[in-house]
Chain A
Amino acid sequence: MSTQNADQEVSRAIARMKAGILAFIFAIIGGGGLFVMTAWLLVKGGPQVGKTLNLLGHFFIGYEVTWLGAFVGLIYGALTGGIIGWCIGIVYNRIVGIPSTS
């Protein structure tokens, strides 16, 4: 294959996403992120610890800004992040997989 053709092949290629890997990454970011944020507020302390972050309890039943809540949030965050990542990957791949008419 000539250099030009090889480069054209790369430039024409469209990336596919590994939905599972994307879900995993989003799960780590979501779960880890929520855990770290909760822990940070707990370590920081103060009169009203995590007043705003506590509102996530509306969506994540059982979540609150406590050490137990941090672990509950870790699971919720990972689950939510995983679903979001997986959805993005699946939808993206579906659209990319639609044959171009051009």
Chain B
Amino acid sequence: MHAETKDAIVIGAGPAGLTASYELAKHGIRSTILEADQLVGGISRTVNYKGYRFDIGGHRFFSKVPLINEVWDEIIDEDMLIRPRLSRIHYRGHFFDYPLQAGNALSGLGLIEACLIGLSYARTKVFPSRQERNFEEWVANRFGYRLYNIFFKTYTEKVWGIPCTEISADWAAQRIKNLSLVEAVRNALLGGSGKTKDGKIITTLIDKFKYPRLGPGMMWECCESRLEAQGNHTLRGRRVERIRHTQGRVECVYARTNEGELEEFSGDQFFSTMPLRELISALDPAPPDEVLRAANSLAYRDYLTVVLMVKRDKVFPDNWIYIHSPEVKMGRIQNYKNWSPEMVPDSTRTSLGLEYFLWDVDDEWNWSKDRLIDLGMKETIALKLIEENEVEDGTVVRMKKAYPIYDQFYKEHLDVIRRYLATITNLQTIGRNGQHRYNNQDHSMLTGIYAARNVVGANYDIWSVNVEQEYHEETVSDEKATGDRLIPQRVEPDIDAEKVAPDAVIRAAFAKMDPFALGVAMGLVFAISLFMATAALLVKGGDVVGPHLSLLGHFFIGYEVTWLGALLGLIEAGIGGFMIGYVGAGLRNWTMSTYTKLLKRRAEMDQSKDLLDKV
């Protein structure tokens, strides 16, 4: 058995693992990366088949975290393309713009269907589901049942393999950034798009995105090369089988090579991107039964791509198409050439990636390559995207555990696992499967960076990354080395400094007025004013004292311009002033509250526009 000692051992050469190693190298810490596969990049790899390059799904390089953009630029600045985004929805022979546009959607669906959608929408507005318990109720409450059935139900069920009624409404709500009142008002007043430090507007996910010239795998191959040059080796074909730990520390990991040899890797710090289920079962000694049960209860959705090489230079202009038509099993079609022209070896050819979301126990998962290619061809022809004789080659790529499943119990299981893992002080779990969290690439990278920084004295809460679906700033705790998971704070205070002043104004403007206080203030002023006015006339005297002011007696019972009347007026004007102040403050608060609800609702609808991207 071969044994090696390094400062840090990173399990998995996906975005999280490689970024962790990259960050460690910046701090002078050497690391060894163990990758089970023959390719780096994890789910962000690029597969090369006879010169045709393709992703495991499409990976847009878009992040609202400046740090991640900087890392991408550092690794492959010149090879990064800015690509326009076009993706549409295919449903029953029609293409629909995405995000949905009312005119386009209604013209594609026809007048009768449009009317039925309108009626359905009106019905859910008048009679919404009181409790939003599941995804169906959540979406239908916002778009109406009919639109939900057409544009959300089939695709979501294809991706996740469970009925929408069994998907938690919380999950849907997490997909949509829940803007706070201040954010909603700021967006309404100042516009929704964020700004970078140098004041440039952050492009929305809808318009365009960065993409490496040779696919996302290029990023990770470059990253691997840079690490290699610094003496940080990535060892491919090493499947970690056992993680030996004692007294709250991992001592070493054992990895099996493709040739069957068992290798031992020792280190001071360990980073794991392994699926939590596999990580827990690899621990030696084994964790308590409760932890093992929790890990074994975590579920994953698997993913399969059928790639067809088509003898045509242009098939469709989209980067990808969402396939909502229930007649076919595929969920999306990628057109890799539209991601980068260099993804195909011959510009007269097009490669299409037909994406199937499956369980590894499904029949299709175990179908032969030829049978799957045949299925893909038939379905693509049925969608009228290609002709029968246009396909000249094809291949299949399977990716197990591509999507962590958020079932109704996963949080409880995850909590059990997290509590246990917290007792192993030199092991950090990062990345999508390392945290069983539906992270984007940038989220996974951020967990890697945070974990690496924790080794050199920082105290980041890695589990706070992507707790909300979208975020603008990095987070870090200001309390150091307490060992607890801490409340996140900004790492670079200047990022949002310019938001602070408007936010303070918004908070002050939307703060409630105290009705009682305003009532008392106005009551006092009214009371004293009337008393003084009456007293002034009485002191002044004359034949007929204050005939006009006496007319207030119509409103203030018993009031007249006498000393007794002055006292009565003081009391009654006080009461009247109090009521005016109290009601006025209440009305002002109600108006502000209604206005802010309206703003939040608008903001939520804006967020919902690209809901499919988040499914």
Contact = CB atoms under 8 A, between A and B. Distances in A.
A11 interface: yes
A55 to B, nearest CB: 5
Interface in A13-44: 13-16
A6 B180 CA distance: 6
A3 B178 contact: yes
- The DSSP consensus for interface residues of chain A is helix
Nearest to B506: A10
A10 B181 CA distance: 8
B529 A95 contact: no
B56 to A, nearest CB: 32
A95 B520 contact: yes
Given A3-B468, A84-B529, A15 B540 contact: no
Contacts of B548: 52, 55
Contacts of A16: 508, 511
B536 to A, nearest CB: 6
A6 B514 CA distance: 20
Contacts of A9: 507
Given A52-B548, A92-B518, A10 B537 contact: no
B533 interface: yes
Contact of B514 (A3, A7, A90, A96): A96
Contacts of B514: 14-15, 92, 95-96
A91 B179 CA distance: 35
Contacts of A11: 181, 512
Interface in B532-551: 533, 536-537, 540, 546, 548
A12 B514 CA distance: 11
Chain A interface size, under 10 / 10 to 19 / 20 to 34 / 35 or more:
20 to 34
Contacts of A7: 180-181
B510 interface: yes
B114 interface: no
B512 A15 contact: yes
Contacts of B511: 10, 13-16
A53 B518 CA distance: 29
A49 interface: no
Given A3-B179, A6-B182, A92-B514, A15 B525 contact: no
B65 interface: no
Counting chain A CB atoms within 10 Å of each CB, the highest count among B512, B521, B528, B536 belongs to B521
B507 A14 contact: no
A79 interface: no
A91 B519 CA distance: 10
Contacts of A84: 525, 529
B40 to A, nearest CB: 36
Contacts of B525: 84, 87-88, 91
B304 interface: no
Counting chain A CB atoms within 10 Å of each CB, the highest count among B507, B520, B525 belongs to B525
Contact of A88 (B179, B507, B508, B521): B521
A10 B596 CA distance: 11
Given A91-B520, A92-B521, A95-B514, A58 B178 contact: no
Contact of A87 (B183, B517, B524): B524
B180 A13 contact: no
Interface string A56-97: 001100000000000000000000000010011111110110
A9 B183 CA distance: 13
Given A3-B180, A6-B181, A58-B540, A13 B507 contact: yes
Nearest to A93: B517
Contacts of B522: 88
B512 A14 contact: yes
Contacts of A91: 517, 520-521, 524-525
B556 interface: no
B512 A87 contact: no
Interface string B167-201: 00000000000111111000000000000000000
Contacts of B510: 10, 13
Nearest to A15: B511
A96 B178 contact: no
A92 B577 CA distance: 13
B516 interface: yes
B520 A58 contact: no
Contacts of A14: 511-514
Contacts of B546: 58
Nearest to A18: B508
B488 to A, nearest CB: 9
Contacts of B521: 87-92, 95
Given A7-B181, A95-B521, A59 B513 contact: no
A92 B517 contact: yes
A84 B533 CA distance: 14
A59 B507 contact: no
Given A3-B180, A10-B507, A58 B513 contact: no
Contacts of A13: 507-508, 510-512
A54 to B, nearest CB: 10
Closest 7 CB pairs between A and B? A6-B180, A95-B517, A91-B521, A13-B511, A15-B511, A92-B521, A3-B180
28 contacts: A3-B178, A3-B179, A3-B468, A6-B182, A9-B507, A10-B182, A10-B507, A11-B181, A13-B507, A13-B510, A13-B511, A14-B512, A14-B513, A15-B508, A15-B512, A16-B511, A55-B548, A58-B546, A87-B524, A87-B525, A88-B525, A91-B517, A91-B520, A91-B525, A93-B517, A95-B516, A96-B514, A96-B517
Given A6-B182, A87-B521, 9 more contacts: A3-B468, A14-B512, A59-B533, A84-B525, A84-B529, A88-B521, A91-B520, A91-B525, A92-B520
